[in-house]
Amino acid sequence: MVHHFADLPRRLLSALILAPIALFCLWLGGGAWVLLATLAGIALAVEWATICRFVPLSPPALLLPVLVAAACLASAAGFALAALFVLFVAGVVLAGGSGGGAAARRWLAGGLLYLGLAAVATVWLRLRGPAGLGNMLFVVLIVWASDSGAYVVGRVFGGAKLAPRISPSKTWAGAAGGLAFAVAAGFLVAEGFASGPSASVLLASVTLGVASQAGDLLESAFKRRFGVKHSGNLIPGHGGALDRLDGVLAAAPAAAILALALGPGVELWR
């Protein structure tokens, strides 16, 4: 069984370095969180362009990091909807036309919404009133717990494959373990904010836990489409930024929708 966890030391070392930085910026909020989200968005955009087989910092791929970074800043300034509209229009323009490279441009354009929506949601959630800290912490810890639970339980128990055509290493046992860890993390955050256990905590945790795993599978499908194993090598033991943040890319927009439904100043688990 030891060989199943051969990459564990590198994963732990990366987590010990990156997690405190992320949590510190999350706690500070404001400019620190916006800066972290912007830098992460740029890294994600560069990796997406590379996966789509573009030279990352040359036209038209340069549009991705520039617009994703601008969307983060616009969201911080209170123009989240305007940022999403610009991303949508830019994506339509980029995907338009035919001829050589049209298919690749459409994939590149898809990255504007795939990454931009999550970037806007991540900034908007944290900066949205007094509930922002708790809500974003709820999202982050659920995603981390889901990823860790799926990794540990899946490696220990193995078993039937979850989606062998998309990601051969993922199992139903790992998915169940990830969801159980996600729910535990959700209850932990709720308890930390003196909310206590309730059906709404369970529902919100399951929703974001499922979204996180769906995001993981979606990114695996993208990588399989382009024939790559990892999105990059930025984070030892994890691969690239996309490999590490794939759950956030799905969970953050889902959390933003939930926050909109609940109204301003309300925790996601209420």
Nearest Cα to Cα of residue 108 among 120, 122, 85, 90: 90
pLDDT grade, residue 85 (50/70/90)?
very high
| Structural domain contains residue 140 | yes
Average pLDDT over residues 26-44: 96
What per-residue confidence (pLDDT) applies to 65? Answer: 95
- Given a cut of 80, whether residue 226 has pLDDT beyond it is yes
Q: Which domain holds residue 20?
A: 2-262
pLDDT grade, residue 46 (50/70/90)?
very high
Average pLDDT over residues 35-61: 92
Report H helices in the chain.
Answer: 8-28, 30-51, 63-76, 80-95, 102-127, 132-157, 172-192, 199-226, 241-262
| Structural domain contains residue 40 | yes
What per-residue confidence (pLDDT) applies to 235? Answer: 72
pLDDT grade, residue 69 (50/70/90)?
very high
What per-residue confidence (pLDDT) applies to 98? Answer: 62
pLDDT grade, residue 68 (50/70/90)?
very high
Residue 38: alpha-carbon gap to chain centroid: 13
pLDDT tens-digit series, residues 179-195: 999 999 999 999 999 87
pLDDT tens-digit series, residues 235-245: 765 678 998 89
| Structural domain contains residue 181 | yes
| Structural domain contains residue 270 | no
Write down the pTM of the prediction.
Answer: 0.92
| Structural domain contains residue 267 | no
What per-residue confidence (pLDDT) applies to 20? Answer: 94
What per-residue confidence (pLDDT) applies to 230? Answer: 80
Rounded alpha-carbon distances, angstroms, from residue 63 to 43, 69, 129, 249: 13, 10, 31, 19
Per DSSP, the three-state class of 239 is: strand
What per-residue confidence (pLDDT) applies to 2? Answer: 46
- Given a cut of 90, whether residue 233 has pLDDT beyond it is no
Average pLDDT over residues 210-216: 96
Q: Identify the residue with better confidence: 57 or 48.
A: 48
Number of Cβ atoms within 10 Å of the Cβ of 165: 9
Give the Cα separation of 176 and 172 in Å (integer): 6
Q: Identify the residue with better confidence: 163 or 178.
A: 178
| Structural domain contains residue 131 | yes
| Structural domain contains residue 269 | no
Give the Cα separation of 110 and 54 in Å (integer): 14
Average pLDDT, the chain: 90
Average pLDDT over residues 203-217: 96
Task: Name the domain count of the chain.
Answer: 1
Q: Which residues pair with 239 in a beta bridge?
A: 235
| Structural domain contains residue 268 | no
Q: Picking from 67-71, 138-142, 170-174, 238-242, which range would have the lowest pLDDT averaged per residue? A: 238-242
